């Protein structure tokens, strides 16, 4: 199926305000957002595709869903409603831990606001799922209306489905959307590109389609005798931005701000412009950077966010293609091809303009990590168990499955050092709910196989003398990734040391942090976005494994 590139205009998703304005001052707001089955046009020449879409109504639902705009300090309440039919539009594997309604009818869903800091009952725990009309509910379901405090630092969040075992297919079906948290008093003076024309979220993801327009997903498992349909990773050959395949956007010779969200299940993107234009990073996935950082390329794992300014007045050409050269799976998979190596095209107007936007030398400085506040040091090892035929079957953390009792019980307002030891062959984007972290360093393991052998027996990095092995080469953290983040790339064969701050920058809120509270919070790898509780945590690469 060969689709012509750069024929559809880049859409802007509809905006929904998460606050009201009463007599000139902002007030909290309650929203209702539904999930609907409908058809979505991904490309001029592709028949409409059956999708699951978020929206205020079926008519206005889009893929991705509407961009929710929230204000710092003003609560947003959302009742997420499931209006999905009784059957899924994609194949799902019942042999992995999965939300399955007792009546076998309905599509279980639950919404996680990725990057949000709020009470556990609003966090979208994967076992808090519900079907259409709340007819059936998962074991940790607590309330229909979610409360987002919006008390955290301004920045970029996104919402996506998080249901046990179905996350990967619910996302593929279209259940994703952007959430921008603004703090005008703090951000306004920066004079960064602002307003609908110049400040645009870009949700980038990959899909494959059949000629009839439907989403193609290989439904034969890698290891069919154990899991008939389960595929650990999904890669599509069509690159979609804001719901259109390889779109184009007309721009003026001025600065624009793009909040680029990698909303793929498994694909890493290493973005660059074919005409050498630069990315001026102003923020990462949780907070602003202290000062802007200029790069020629930017590598985003699934669920990472780059918040960049691009200055088209610097362009020597009249168009620029945003391209990608990240192998898939990353880092040791296939090289990109003609299709997945291109993302979108910018057509740049000829005449120069006066630009009123700027990128100041200083942005917003947050406190640097304070090592003296560290209360706990943990070792988090990720390794795969394989079948007799060498197929990966389970990917656990410290040898423990998701169902095991929680081993991480941090205290509110404290910091911890986590040494994340990646003994797999793939790079895993580790996402921690509720915690913001900074990456301190990455150190290669020497004699990895020997250490791994011990870990399979002991499941305990200290007993296996991790310090004897964590002494290889060190890799610097790139400047634009040194700020506070909620997800980062765990390099295979390396120990990544992070300082995690639980409920960082969260003030004057009514919520109390209790890590043992049910449903609690999770941390997990974001490849295929399978949620694993961090209290009960598990790392199951790929998806929903056994």
Query: Contact letters (x/-) for ligand C2O, 106-135, by CB under 6 A?
Result: ------x-x---------------------
Q: For residues 425 and 435, what is the distance between their CA atoms, to the nearest angstrom? A: 26
Stretch that binds ligand C2O, among 351-359, 457-465, 494-502, 525-533 (CB under 6 A): 525-533
Please report, as residue ranges, which positions from 150 to 179 form the binding site for ligand C2O (by CB under 6 A): 160, 162
| C-alpha closest to that of 435 among 458, 419, 416 | 416
Nearer to ligand C2O, 160 or 254 (CB): 160
Site for ligand C2O in 288-317 (CB under 6 A): 303
Least Å distance, CB 361 to ligand C2O, is: 32
> Which C-beta is closer to ligand C2O: that of 149 or that of 530?
530
Check binding of 524 to ligand C2O (CB under 6 A).
Answer: yes
Q: What is the DSSP string of 479-545?
A: GGGSS-BSEEEE-TTEEEEEEEEETTT--S-S----TTSSS--BEEETGGG---BSTT----SSS--
As measured in angstroms, the least distance from the Cβ of 541 to ligand C2O is: 14
- If the CB atoms of residues 249 and 305 are measured against ligand C2O, the closer one turns out to be 305
Residue (of 320, 302, 300) closest to 310 by Cα position: 320
Question: What is the β-pairing status of strands 374-386 and 474-475?
Answer: unpaired
- According to DSSP, the β-strands at 494-502 and 415-422 are antiparallel
Please report, in angstroms and rounded to a whole number, the separation of the first and last CA atoms in the chain: 34
Name the minimum Å distance from CB 167 to ligand C2O: 8
Cβ 267 to ligand C2O shortest distance, Å: 15
**Distance of alpha carbon 238 from alpha carbon 341, whole angstroms:** 10
Total number of residues binding ligand C2O (CB under 6 A)? Answer: 12
Which stretch, 357-365, 420-428, 520-528, 538-546, contacts ligand C2O (CB under 6 A)? Answer: 520-528
Spatial distance between the Cα atoms of 324 and 484, rounded to a whole number of angstroms = 25
CB 152 within 8 A of CB 506: yes
Return the residues of window 429-488 that contact ligand C2O according to CB under 6 A. 431, 433
- Secondary structure of residue 381 in the 3-state scheme: strand
To ligand C2O, the closest distance from the beta carbon of 486 in angstroms equals: 8
Stretch that binds ligand C2O, among 4-12, 272-280, 319-327, 518-526 (CB under 6 A): 518-526
Is the distance from CB of 326 to CB of 336 less than 8 angstroms?
yes
Tokens read off for 317: 């050409």
Minimal CB distance to ligand C2O: which residue?
A: 114
Kindly report the backbone phi and psi dihedral angles of residue 494, in degrees, each rounded to the nearest multiple of 5, phi listed first.
-125, 160
Identify the H or E element spanning 451.
Answer: helix 448-458
By CB neighbour count within 10 A (0-12 exposed, 13-18 middle, 19+ buried), where does 195 fall?
A: exposed
| Minimum CB distance to ligand C2O smaller for 131 or for 264 | 264
Least CB distance to ligand C2O at residue 164 (A):
11
| Helices vs. strands in the chain: H and E counts, helices first | 4, 31
Nearer to ligand C2O, 261 or 381 (CB): 261
CB atoms within 10 A of CB 375: 12
Among 171, 343, 464, 522, binds ligand C2O (CB under 6 A): 522
Q: How far is CA 77 from the centre of its chain?
A: 21
Tokens coding 252? 């003026």
Closest listed residue to residue 182, CA positions, set 82, 72, 74: 72
* Using rule CB under 6 A, residue 183 touches ligand C2O: no
Q: Which is nearer to ligand C2O, 182 or 431 (CB)?
A: 431
Binding mask 376-415 for ligand C2O (x = CB under 6 A): ----------------------------------------
Select the span of 169-177, 186-194, 315-323, 521-529 touching ligand C2O (CB under 6 A).
521-529
By C-beta, is 223 or 530 nearer to ligand C2O?
530
| Beta strands 248-253; 342-352: pairing state | parallel
**431 or 452: CB nearest ligand C2O:** 431
- Tell whether residue 29 is a contact of ligand C2O (CB under 6 A): no
Q: Is 531 in the site for ligand C2O (CB under 6 A)?
A: yes
Cα angle, residue 304 at apex, residues 301 and 305 outer, rounded to 5° = 135
Neighbouring-strand partners of residue 293: 281
Q: How far is the CB of 443 from ligand C2O (least distance, A)?
A: 26
Nearer to ligand C2O, 98 or 315 (CB): 98
Considering only 86-94, 102-110, 320-328, 524-532, which stretch makes contact with ligand C2O by CB under 6 A? Answer: 524-532
Bridge pairing between strands 155-161 and 176-182: antiparallel
Contacts of 326 (CB under 8 A, 6+ apart): 267, 268, 269, 270, 299, 336
Question: Per CB under 6 A, does 227 bind ligand C2O?
Answer: no
Q: Which of 455/529 has CB closer to ligand C2O?
A: 529
Interface residue list for ligand C2O (CB under 6 A): 112, 114, 160, 162, 303, 431, 433, 522, 524, 526, 529, 531
């Amino acid at each position: 199926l060969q689709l012509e590139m750069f024929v559809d205009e880049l859409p802007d998703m509809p905006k929904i305000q998460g606050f009201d304005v009463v007599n000139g001052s902002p007030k909290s707001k309650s929203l209702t957002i539904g999930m609907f089955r409908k058809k979505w046009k991904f490309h001029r020449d592709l028949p409409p595709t059956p999708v699951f879409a978020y929206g205020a109504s079926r008519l206005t639902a889009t893929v991705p869903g509407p961009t929710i705009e929230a204000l710092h300090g003003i609560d947003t309440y959302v009742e997420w409603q499931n209006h999905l039919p009784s059957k899924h539009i994609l194949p799902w594997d019942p042999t992995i831990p999965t939300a399955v309604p007792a009546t076998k009818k309905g599509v279980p869903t639950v919404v996680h606001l990725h990057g949000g800091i709020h009470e556990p009952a609003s966090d979208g725990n994967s076992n808090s799922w519900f079907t259409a009309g709340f007819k059936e509910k998962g074991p940790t379901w607590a309330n229909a209306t979610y409360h987002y405090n919006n008390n955290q630092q301004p920045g970029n969040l996104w919402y996506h489905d998080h249901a046990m075992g179905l996350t990967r297919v619910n996302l593929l079906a279209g259940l994703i959307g952007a959430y921008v948290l603004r703090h005008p008093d703090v951000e306004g003076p920066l004079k960064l590109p602002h307003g609908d024309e110049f400040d645009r979220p870009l949700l980038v993801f990959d899909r494959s389609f059949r000629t009839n327009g439907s989403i193609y997903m290989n439904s034969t498992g890698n290891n069919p005798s154990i899991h008939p349909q389960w595929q650990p990773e999904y890669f599509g050959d069509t690159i979609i931005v804001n719901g259109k395949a390889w779109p184009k956007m007309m721009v003026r010779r001025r600065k624009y701000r793009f909040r680029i969200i990698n909303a793929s299940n498994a694909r890493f993107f290493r973005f660059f412009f074919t005409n050498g234009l630069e990315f001026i990073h102003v923020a990462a996935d949780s907070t602003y950077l202290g000062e802007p950082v200029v790069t020629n390329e930017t590598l985003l794992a699934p669920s990472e966010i780059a918040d960049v300014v691009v200055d088209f007045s610097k362009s020597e050409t009249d168009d620029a293609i945003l391209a990608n050269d990240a192998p898939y799976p990353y880092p040791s998979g296939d090289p990109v091809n003609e299709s997945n190596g291109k993302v979108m095209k910018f057509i740049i107007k000829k005449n120069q303009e006066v630009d009123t936007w700027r990128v100041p030398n200083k942005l917003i400085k947050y406190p640097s990590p304070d090592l003296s506040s560290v209360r706990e040091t943990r070792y988090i090892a990720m390794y795969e168990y394989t079948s007799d035929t060498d197929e990966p079957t389970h990917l656990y953390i410290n040898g423990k499955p998701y169902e095991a009792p929680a081993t991480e019980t941090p205290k509110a307002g404290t910091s911890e050092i986590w040494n994340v030891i990646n003994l797999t062959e793939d790079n895993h984007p580790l996402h921690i709910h509720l915690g913001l972290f900074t990456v301190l360093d990455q150190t290669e393991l020497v004699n990895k196989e020997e250490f791994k052998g011990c870990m399979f027996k002991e499941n305990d990095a200290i007993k296996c003398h991790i310090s004897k092995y964590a002494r290889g080469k060190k890799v610097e953290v790139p400047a634009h990734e040194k700020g506070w983040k909620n997800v980062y790339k765990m390099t295979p064969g390396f120990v990544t040391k992070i300082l995690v701050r639980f409920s960082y920058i969260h003030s004057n809120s009514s919520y109390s942090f209790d890590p043992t509270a049910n449903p609690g919070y999770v941390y997990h790898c974001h490849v295929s976005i399978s949620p694993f509780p961090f209290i009960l945590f598990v790392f199951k690469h790929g998806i929903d494994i056994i």
